[in-house]
């Protein structure tokens, strides 16, 4: 399939399996991005990107050549949907259209709280400073991906069926 503006790298990953996965924590202002790999079952925070900055997101996809994407699905504590749930689903569908790879939605409840806790621990140990607070978004994406990998990559729903 040839590349198009809506699908900038349709041909770039054809027949090439990297094992890489990009995960996203979609917020109203920023999108946290993390990189993981099925073979190593590890995940790490990568970047915080302005919501809507598709050129930067496309560049990360081109750089890391993931086989699939994982997008955090922000559900209410009772498991119901909330306004940001729709935003995350729309982002997942756009990502799937642009990059012609599977996108999986994962329950992200408590990931931001856990990311804030981990960041506070890093600050207390001197490994992070307040000016690195945007890292919380990418750390939340790493937590979402860690959970997905730990669950055997099986507790998922896809945007097309949700």
CA nearest 71: which of 162, 160, 156? 156
- Which domain, by its residues, includes 65? 20-161
User: Does 1 fall in a domain?
Assistant: no
We report the CATH number of the domain holding residue 43 as 3.30.420.140
pLDDT in tens, 69-93: 999 998 887 878 889 899 999 999 9
pLDDT for 6 beyond 70 = no
User: Does 133 fall in a domain?
Assistant: yes
List the single range of 1-10, 50-59, 132-141 with lowest mean pLDDT: 1-10
Beta bridge partners of 85: none
User: Does 95 fall in a domain?
Assistant: yes
User: Does 7 fall in a domain?
Assistant: no
Looking at the 3D structure of the chain, how many domains does it have? 1
pLDDT in tens, 146-155: 989 988 764 4
User: Does 11 fall in a domain?
Assistant: no
User: Does 117 fall in a domain?
Assistant: yes
Q: Counting runs of H as helices and runs of E as strands, what totals does the chain give? A: 4, 5
Cα(110)–Cα(35) distance, integer angstroms: 20
């Amino acid at each position: 399939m040839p590349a198009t503006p809506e699908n900038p790298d349709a041909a770039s990953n054809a027949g090439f399996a990297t094992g890489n996965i990009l995960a996203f924590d979609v917020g109203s202002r920023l999108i946290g991005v993390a990189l993981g790999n099925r073979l190593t079952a590890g995940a790490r925070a990568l970047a915080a990107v302005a919501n809507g900055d598709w050129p930067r997101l496309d560049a990360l996809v081109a750089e890391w050549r993931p086989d699939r994407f994982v997008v955090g699905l922000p559900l209410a504590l009772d498991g119901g949907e909330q306004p940001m749930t729709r935003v995350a689903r729309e982002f997942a569908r756009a990502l799937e259209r642009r990059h012609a790879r599977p996108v999986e939605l994962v329950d992200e409840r408590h990931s931001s709280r856990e990311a804030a806790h981990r960041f506070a621990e890093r600050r207390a140990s001197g490994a992070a400073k307040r000016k690195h607070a945007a890292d919380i978004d990418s750390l939340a994406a790493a937590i979402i991906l860690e959970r997905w990998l730990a669950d055997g990559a099986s507790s998922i729903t896809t945007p097309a069926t949700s």
